[in-house]
Structure 1
Amino acid sequence: MKKSFSIFLSFVLLFMLALTGCGGGEKSAGGEKAGEKILRVNNSTEPGSLHPARAQGTHDSWPMRHLFVGLTMKEEGGKIVPAMAEKWDISPDKKKYTFHLRDGLKWSNGDPLTAHDFEYAWKYVLNPSTPSDYAWILYYIDGAQQYNESKEKDPQKLKALEDKVGVKALDDKTLEVKLKNPTPFFEELVSFYTYFPIDKKVQEQNPNWANDAKTFVSNGPFKLVEWQHKSHLKMAKNENYFEKDRIKLDGIHWTMVEDENTAWQSFRSGDYDLLYPLPSDVIGQLKSSNSPEFKSAIQFATYFYRFNTTKKPFNNKKVRLALTLAIDRNTITQNVTQGGEKPAFGYVGPGAKEPSGKEFQEVSGNFFKEDVALAKRLLAEGLKEEGMTSMPKFTILYNTLDAHKRIAEAIQEMWRKNLGLKVGLENVEFQVKIDREHKLDYDVSRSGWIADYTDPMTMLEMFTSYSKQNDTGWKNKEYDALIDQAQKAADQAKRMELMHKAEKILMDEMPIMPIYFYAMPYAVKENVTGVYTVPDEYPVMKYADKK
């Protein structure tokens, strides 16, 4: 009996081994099934939201751009191509766009995707009761700002304002958009994530659908299948995507590891296929060794510090200018970041072209130059004007990344050495930093701005008094007026002239301290192909493949 039982047990074990070894059952250390093409990347931190109306940072937008797509989208090099809209018509006065959607569009859950979803999504963003910090980016649409800024409590009157917003689904496949003024970058703007559609039926049935993978519905190349908050996201290929045949990956798996050095060790161990950002010392090593895994791209973005201008002595522009003049940007870019960044002596960086073909930044030139002696004099004058004899100790707030820490430490030392200041450092999670900036709960805060579209307006509009991304407390009527005039100007040369004047005011007042213009150094395994970059996004992986 014992012998018979042993033979039976052996057969059982062999059968189980056969099952685990055959197609579909075996899984790798990364959790994917054998034979699946899964791209593994790190998002650094937990997304604040993956809802198009509520997203506001790159920790949201990078994964979200792989889950959704708008009326248009960007191909390699930043070329705007049709996406949900197969074509569009523009009126002679360039103030009305009529988008014609493709046949047979579907959401990831199988629901039909129609022009009504776009109208609903955009008006949802603008609804005064929606907590959308990016609503202002829809203000190009006629009636959008009036509706979004309304304090109206009467439901009927509020509905009347909503009905006046210049976006309307004429039928399931036709979306009409009326603009306040000609907007030369509008075709690009509708590729931005705040302009993504949402499934009207899903939003009305479950307002919290975007918080859980089980209820998440999207229209992009991938769908969300797992979200372990503050741990990882898993995406799978969306079979309802309009270009599903171009998608070679079975999915993308994202982790949320804040420490760049830990993430880099994981990349070296083979746990990641692509990694961004990289530790600054690693960037230097990869560049010097000509590593085939190292890539670097141009990015239309600026790294800067915000000043809380509602708080003494940062309310004084001489103090702000003194702090700006007292740091050495070349030391930061050459010895700290090491990724090909360029010192910034203005706010708008390379990436936006003038009608002449020249870079807007090149025409602007430098608005200031570093000068420690002048910084000392301005600091003394500014403090005296505020009735202060010395600069109180203050703190630099930054989100948890080694690069931000090293930059903050370098600036802390420069301000100590050059101006004799006592400066503290405080690191917090990215979403916490954003929340505190919105509340003006900081002294000086690390910030960066990646362009939403390739026009100087994407950088400059943020510091208008109505922008919910300003986060400095600074307001200037003349600046607002110049931005308003630039938005209304049909003549492109005139638009650029007005924006140059606006940037000059921003740099004269200095509510922010430009530090450098970004580059985008990242690492990708040699067996990964099809990843591309555009100046205003992180690496695009939707068409990637793994050999």
Structure 2
Amino acid sequence: MKKNISAMLAVLLSLILILTGCFNSTEQVQKKKDEGQEEMESSEDNGPKILRTNNSSEPGSLHPGTAQGSHDSWILEHTFEGLTTKSPDGKIIPGMAELPEVSEDGLTWTFHLRDGMKWSNGDPVTAEDFEYAWKYALNPNTASQYAYQLYYLEGGEEFNSVSSNKENRQIPEEVLKPYRDKVGVKALDEKTLEVKLAKPTPYFLDLTSHYTYYPINKKVQEQNSDWYKEADTFVSNGAFTLSEWKHKESVKLVKNESYYDKDKINLDEVLLYIIEDQNTAWQMYQSDEMDLIVNLPAEVTGMLIDKEDPEFHNASDLATYYYNLNTGVKPFGNVKVRRALSMAIDRQAIVDHVSQGGQIPAYGVIPPGMPDESGDFRENAEQLFEESVEKAKKLLEEGLAEEGLDKMPKFSFLYNTSETHKAIAEAIQEMWRKNLGIEEMVLENAEFQVKLDREQAGDFQISRGGWIGDYVDPMTFMDIWVTDGPYNDVNWGNKEYDKLIQTAKSTMDKGTRMDAMHQAEQILMDEMPIIPIYYYSKPHAYKHFISSIYAPINRYPQFKYADIKK
């Protein structure tokens, strides 16, 4: 049964909150203040409208075909636009194209680009730009981690799976071309894009608003393959474009005068400071050096909720916070060890006393907000595992004995730099110490992109993970952990799980699809290669003079239509 937090643990958690709440990095704040003074002064009445906010990490890639994290996607969502886009109320609406014509069998989708669509350099956006971009991401030489999102296209997986006979060797064009030509996307003319799917996909329209499906300017890409790495060569088709990139310091966006809906874009500039430390970002917000903040320290979130601060906003998020367990590293390959670690965590204590943002304890991987055959997928599933210290102790003892160990060996926990991630890790570290006698867990922080790279290389034992749904269907979570999946960092595989996911991808029958995914989620939780902690909320704050910020369920707060009225 689920156990309540002990008095001793409550005291310790309180101490953690006090320590993590201490503001620091005064010199960094002053440096940012000096650098931002010009922007602050220019945002007075009758001057340019400049929104200042924070991007929590240096972007890994601002190329739609190679981007992979929220530190990339938040910028891309404002600088690019797909065939479709999402309205402030979350509906899929026309973007670069009108809504498509779909064949009766659900396999052929025909998109017609709207008149007057242009790139920021004045070039017309063409159907060929979309075909080129999708095939670029699928090209195995590109090494796109998100290429699997295009496997819904006929021939997409086959093209991406072409391999070289030699390790790290670029695959020659004569080998690639026959596979590329069979991919189900084709520009019939300058404004007509025909898409052929491998199987009927009920959520495909939602996918066309995702950043992996954004176009790239074919001419620009062919002339300069590094166009996306610096502001002076950057070309995009969204509401904003990149005007300045001071690497690891700040990113500046400016209104794209070539954007078809430019008259509805109120902001002239958006300045995103690159600040990993949450307390530094919050201090800058308090001192009026930021107008919008999306990564609040946990104790600040709790404080703002308690005082009902009018600048504080929260929203549902289609996201799950979890821990990765590298099953290729002893003793985490043992399912009893993995389940013991999960069962010894008091999730309610974490959300009540540490994260403090209205999060919901997670006893499955699919968050609320996903449609089922009827109702909500999460609400229709029972709690998929339990918390029990007594059972956890027994399982850990049995698992370690099977591994020839009499105690848990020293191991490290990898997390990206964040006071909240650190506080949660420290709380769970204490739970494992108190409940399971685990004494040698070492916390290790790294920049977000470094963490991602290490996870993909298998260079970790336990790491913090989080996933925001790319589209509103349970599959956006479930296909992560198929055997050898590009984001299956935990080195886990299960044939029955793979079969169920394939079943869910092979039918348009909603009941069959959802039943298969419910069964697959149960297998995942029985095997526990990941440990769900909670379902995210989306706490953020913005100044009283900012309006029209909106927060789609699976995206960061959007400032596309924001306005400033002081």
* TM-score range relative to shorter protein: over 0.9
Amino acid in structure 1 at the alignment position of 2:125: L
Secondary structure of the structure 2 residue equivalent to 1:77: coil
Matched, 1:329 2:357: no
Q: Partner of 2:370 in structure 1?
A: 352
Q: Partner of 2:417 in structure 1?
A: 400
Q: Partner of 1:456 in structure 2?
A: 474
Matched, 1:227 2:237: no
Deviation of residue 489 (structure 1)? 1.0
Q: Distance in 1 between matches of 2:73 and 2:313?
A: 21
Amino acid in structure 1 at the alignment position of 2:40: G
Q: Distance in 2 between matches of 1:474 and 1:137?
A: 20
**Selected match of 2:384 from 339, 364, 367:** 367
Q: Distance in 2 between matches of 1:289 and 1:62?
A: 29
Amino acid in structure 1 at the alignment position of 2:56: S
Q: Distance in 2 between matches of 1:154 and 1:289?
A: 62
Q: Distance in 1 between matches of 2:203 and 2:58?
A: 31
Change (3 A) 1:393 1:496: same
Q: Partner of 2:535 in structure 1?
A: 517
Q: Once the two structures are aligned, what percentage of the paired residues are identical?
A: 55
Deviation of residue 355 (structure 1)? 2.9
Q: Distance in 1 between matches of 2:256 and 2:126?
A: 18
Q: Partner of 1:480 in structure 2?
A: 498
Q: Partner of 2:268 in structure 1?
A: 250
Matched, 1:68 2:80: yes
Q: Partner of 1:202 in structure 2?
A: 220
Secondary structure of the structure 2 residue equivalent to 1:288: helix
User: What per-residue deviation string (whole Å, max 9, x for no partner) do you get for residues 467-512 of structure 1?
Assistant: 2111110111211111111001110111000111111111111100
> With structure 2 as the length reference, what TM-score do the two structures score?
0.91
Amino acid in structure 1 at the alignment position of 2:324: R
Amino acid in structure 2 at the alignment position of 1:82: P
Deviation of residue 320 (structure 1)? 0.3
Matched, 1:56 2:68: yes
Do the aligned partners of 2:484 and 2:491 also contact (CA within 8 Å) in 1?
no
Amino acid in structure 1 at the alignment position of 2:299: D
Deviation of residue 31 (structure 1)? 6.8
Deviation of residue 515 (structure 1)? 0.2
**Selected match of 2:40 from 19, 24, 30:** 30
Matched, 1:82 2:99: no
**Selected match of 1:133 from 122, 137, 145:** 145
User: What per-residue deviation string (whole Å, max 9, x for no partner) do you get for residues 24-46 of structure 1?
Assistant: xx984537465110111100110
Q: Partner of 2:408 in structure 1?
A: 391
> With structure 1 as the length reference, what TM-score do the two structures score?
0.94
Amino acid in structure 2 at the alignment position of 1:490: M
Q: Partner of 1:11 in structure 2?
A: none
Change (3 A) 1:89 1:270: same
Deviation of residue 180 (structure 1)? 1.0
Q: Distance in 1 between matches of 2:369 and 2:142?
A: 32
Q: Distance in 2 between matches of 1:478 and 1:144?
A: 24
User: What per-residue deviation string (whole Å, max 9, x for no partner) do you get for residues 259-290 of structure 1?
Assistant: 11111111011111110110111111111111
User: What per-residue deviation string (whole Å, max 9, x for no partner) do you get for residues 49-77 of structure 1?
Assistant: 11001110001101111100100011123
Matches within 5 A, 1:123-522: 123-151=135-163, 153=171, 155-356=173-374, 358-421=375-438, 422-522=440-540
Amino acid in structure 2 at the alignment position of 1:496: M
Do the aligned partners of 1:27 and 1:33 also contact (CA within 8 Å) in 2?
no
Identify unmatched segments of 5+ residues in structure 2: 1-35, 165-170
Do the aligned partners of 2:316 and 2:553 also contact (CA within 8 Å) in 1?
yes
Secondary structure of the structure 2 residue equivalent to 1:446: strand
* Matched residues, number: 521
**C-alpha RMSD of the superposition:** 1.2
Q: Distance in 2 between matches of 1:531 and 1:466?
A: 39
Secondary structure of the structure 2 residue equivalent to 1:322: helix
Matched, 1:536 2:554: yes
Change (3 A) 1:87 1:345: closer
Deviation of residue 365 (structure 1)? 2.1
Change (3 A) 1:210 1:32: farther
Do the aligned partners of 1:128 and 1:149 also contact (CA within 8 Å) in 2?
yes
Identify unmatched segments of 5+ residues in structure 1: 1-25
Secondary structure of the structure 1 residue equivalent to 2:253: strand
Do the aligned partners of 1:99 and 1:175 also contact (CA within 8 Å) in 2?
yes
Secondary structure of the structure 2 residue equivalent to 1:396: strand
Secondary structure of the structure 2 residue equivalent to 1:120: helix
